[in-house]
Chains A and B, each alone.
Chain A
Amino acid sequence: MANLSKKKYSKNISQITHSLETHRQFAKKNIKEKINFGIFAFVASSAVLTVLVLLGILVKGGSGVISIEFITQMPMSQMTEGGIYSAIMGTVYLSLLTLLFSLPLGVGAAIYLHEWAGKGFFVRLIRLSIRNLAGVPSIVYGLFGLGIFAATIGFGTSLLSASLTLALMSLPIIITASEEALKAVPQEFREASIALGATRWETIRYQVLPYALPGIATGSILSIARAAGETAPIILTGAAYFLPYLPGSLFDRFMALPYHLYILSTQHSQTAVVRPLAYGTALVLIAIVLLVNAVAIYIRYRSRKNKLW
């Protein structure tokens, strides 16, 4: 009897110690996991912190300068006084012209890729080219634009040369975004339309494009935000150091916000004196870019909410 209970007892003990062992191992693993996940959370939050610090620097330095006059007046007295109206409007003109050139081409390319093309070698080559175009440095686009539009064709350094250059640069973004938008239109829409006797073009025109429109709009607006912030390509193709008036034609040079910021912070003869204006310009630029971006995200959000299928 005593023997048996002793046996039982030792068995129990070994069971308990065994489970304690695994439990301890498990707890150890658990602590390790907690520590590692904590490190991951810390690293990820440092990315958020960085963005907040960047925005904070701009707001702190620039908010004192921002006023109605700053936004609506021309730069004056060697850009040491006055506002940045010509730079803001220059950027608006430039972005809209860029979109005017790139949108038809970009959407056209996306329609070809998604609605017509199959999966052959030609299409693979197109896709490879699009990805590579997206990786070409912006300054190389600038050099190309300078050589071909400004010098060879003879548009000179002008609004036209700069917007054509930026249009080439934004093509990959617009093509990719438009193709995504076309992909999101259900295949049944096309099949129903074809079954009713519509041609492929009629199907695209009346059954696909209308539903892809919000997606295409989102992509185009995002590409405007990108184009508005670009500096390197327009340095070479038409941005002007200082102009107290707006461009009167496509062949005029223009001021632009990003280039103006570059000038004020590095090229101006009195960079220390104009530093507050530079902060103000930076703040206006980032505000415009983020606002345009927010509009795009809002359109995407609304179209997803109103989706009928």
Chain B
Amino acid sequence: MKSTKTLRIKNSLIRLYFTINGALAIIILLMIFFFLLNEGYPAIKEIGLGEFLFKSRWMPSSGDPGYGTLALILSTLIVAFGAMVISIPWGIVTAGYISEIAPKKIQEILKTTIETLAVFPSVVLGFIALTTVAPLVARIFGLSNGLTALTGSIMLSVMALPTIISISEDALNSVPKEYKEAAIAMGATRWEVLKKVTYPSASSGILAAVMLGFGRAIGETMTVLMATGNSLAMPMTDIHGIPFPDFLTSVRTLTATIAIEGSDVPWGSIHYHSLFVVGAILFVLTFIINLIADLAINRFKGGNG
């Protein structure tokens, strides 16, 4: 009798232990968010959220400090947007080739290559940007310095590629076979099936892939830190009085700012707390993008059983 009772207690303890482990993800996510807010709060109280969000001068360690992150946010979005312009068509077409067209052997080669690309450390891509891509960009566009938003975008497109390909491929693979067979039976060619049946049916999964790739590009640090030159100016240029994003100028992203200033900032200073505000902005930005991706994934998983 006694032994079954201790057994029962032991079992519920074991269960409790694993439940705590399971809940850890929620706890850590909440902890990160509230910690960022808590550590950022002293800076917001001192300076005001308005200056952080709507001013573009970031100079927290100067005698006349500025805490505007607008230029940093715009730079982040511009570099990530440029990366997406390259990697969305690249990734979606490659995923289509892998999942629908390639023979088995070539499929394996492509998948292995993409897996290899996925483990490339971002600092290595940053290094290649510095030594190879930036001089090339400088020569092509006649610039004195090739460390530009464009260079960052090119490298980020390579970084985001594995994410976009693997999730698009999942989405394409989960399109029911019957859809394609029905189209073939009605006389469609394989190309017509791919274009008019497979891709449209996988669209919400592909949207998820694009959003996750975009989130990845926004959160990436080392590659942009080493590739974009880190100048603090507004990344915009006027064309006939209308502001346009300037891809051929040096920019500094939110992530690069934390990396540059975070290692030697005096702990507890307003500058230190203001970096947590930058971190919180970054967290919210990527959180929203991931949430959209999540909704899209649920739709394609729910839609096709």
Which A residues contact B (CB, under 8 angstroms)?
29-30, 32-33, 36-37, 39-41, 43-44, 46-48, 50-51, 54, 57-58, 61, 105, 108-109, 111-113, 115-117, 122-123, 125-126, 128-133, 135-144, 146-148, 151, 168, 171-172, 175, 199-201, 222, 225-226, 228-232, 235-236, 258-259, 261-262, 265-266, 275, 278-279, 282, 285-286, 289-290, 293, 297
Contact = CB atoms under 8 A, between A and B. Distances in A.
Contacts of A259: 123
B196 interface: no
B101 interface: yes
Given A126-B23, A171-B24, A171-B25, 6 more contacts: A33-B190, A44-B102, A51-B113, A137-B218, A140-B279, A147-B39
Q: Give the residue among A168, A175, A232 with the most B Cβ atoms within 10 A.
A: A232
Interface in B12-45: 14-15, 17-19, 21-26, 28-29, 31-32, 35-36, 39
Interface stretch (B60-68, B233-241, B282-290): B282-290
Contacts of A228: 121
B110 A48 contact: yes
Contacts of A172: 25
B119 A138 contact: no
A109 B282 CA distance: 27
Contact of A113 (B22, B29, B127): B22
A112 B19 CA distance: 6
B158 interface: yes
Contacts of B275: 143
A30 B189 CA distance: 8
Contact of A32 (B21, B22, B191): B191
Contacts of A201: 10-11, 14
Given A54-B128, A57-B131, A112-B18, A200 B96 contact: no
A289 B121 contact: yes
Nearest to A130: B25
Contacts of B258: 139-140, 142-143, 236
Nearest to A26: B189
A40 B123 contact: no
Given A143-B275, A147-B276, A231 B219 contact: no
A147 B109 CA distance: 43
